[in-house]
Each structure stands twice: as structure tokens, then as C-alpha cells.
Structure 1
């Protein structure tokens, strides 16, 4: 059993398909399967926090096809991580989505993967600054 995150508003690759990568977490029993684009953003947030020696929770909701429910893992610098992508090309990074993930990682409930903001949606930082 694996967890698959497929953001509703994620962007397909150049072939028009969503590719799914895998996050291998410590000695976890199951790999966590995540859409490549979301995994690329998640990788940046996780590695940034680990570089600062910060621990945090990563939570998700399972799709009904995967049995529904929720899951959470504790991310800690002492654990090993391996990010594996299905696609061969690095996706373009959406700074608004990256910031949204980073902010959630600093909250009590931890990092959550939400839908990717659409092109042209207000940048959360710009909105707070009144830009």
C-alpha cells in the first residue's frame, strides 16, 4: 500500500500526464508515492528544514480509492530520505506553492500538500505586504 498525492490543480508534464515519484522515509514500511511536481516542491521544503536541523510533521489525506483516511509521519534530521522521480525533467518551481508549503511546515499540524495555486493567483507574501 502506498499513499498517492495527486493535486487537483497540478500541472501535467510535457506529455500531458502527471508522473508519480516516491518519497522513501527512514525505515518506513511503505513508500509514500507523490505526484512528481508536488514531490519536487516537497523536497525543497523538507531539505531546507532539515538543513536547519528542524523537525516537523508531514500529513496527508488518502484518496477514497486508496481506502480513505489520513496519515502523518514525523520528519527528523536523524532519519534518511530518498526522493525518486518518475519523470526525467525537473519541473518549474511555483514560488507561491513553495511558500504555502513552507508556512504550513512551521505550524503545529505540520506540512500539508494542498492544491497548487493557479497561474496568476496572488502570491501569499505579496498579499500580506499589500502588493
Structure 2
């Protein structure tokens, strides 16, 4: 994922597909929000936070060509996170409903 042609986040395809659904939904509604993720490859054991707005370019780059199956429970968890005061955080995937 690349934000504003400057900030690059390396996120696996499965997680990125779920984040894309949540981020696009918020941007379609014109909502701005914070997004924070751990980025050990870029800066050790730190984390990165950005302010996501519809006015800044955002690109989702996937390694594979196949779209992963989406877990509605994970989308719900990520959406709740995005709507919280702390903003969107990449949380672990919950088990899918049986």
C-alpha cells in the first residue's frame, strides 16, 4: 500500500484485501480517519500512522493476482476499529463464523 506517493506499507495480500474494503467504504462516505500499523521492515519494531483523507492518493499493490476470500467477521472488526477514536489498526483475523 502506498500513501501520498511517499509512505509505503508492506502488508500481506489477505490483510490488505480486508483493509481495502474498510478504507474504501470510509472514503466513499468522505470520512477521514487515522490508520496505524506495525512496520518492522521499514523502521525496526516501530509503527507508522497516517491521516487518511479522500484528497490524498492511496494505492493498493497486491503481490498475487488472485483476490483472497473475504472474512466478514474481520471486515466488521476492522470497521469498528476505523470508527473508534484511535482509528483503524491492523488487528488479527478472527475465526470466520461457522
TM-score, normalising length from structure 1?
A: 0.69
- Relative to structure 1, the CA distance from residue 32 to residue 65 in structure 2 (aligned partners, 3 Å threshold; closer, same or farther) is closer
Unaligned 5+ segments in structure 2 are none
Q: CA deviation at 1:65?
A: 9.0
Matched with 2:76 is: 99
Over aligned residues, Cα RMSD in angstroms?
A: 1.9
Write the distance in 1 (CA, Å) between the matches of 2:9 and 2:38.
12
Q: Point out the structure with max Rg over C-alpha.
A: 1
Write the distance in 1 (CA, Å) between the matches of 2:3 and 2:84.
21
Matched with 2:56 is: 79
TM-score, normalising length from structure 2?
A: 0.90
Moved over 3 A (4+): 62-66
More helix by share: 2
- Relative to structure 1, the CA distance from residue 119 to residue 45 in structure 2 (aligned partners, 3 Å threshold; closer, same or farther) is closer
Tell me, what secondary structure is at the counterpart of 1:99? helix
Unaligned 5+ segments in structure 1 are 1-22, 122-131
Q: CA deviation at 1:70?
A: 1.8
Write the distance in 2 (CA, Å) between the matches of 1:65 and 1:58.
16
Deviations 1:100-120 (A, max 9, x none): 000000011100111111244
Q: Which has the higher contact order (CA 8 A, sep 6+)?
A: 2
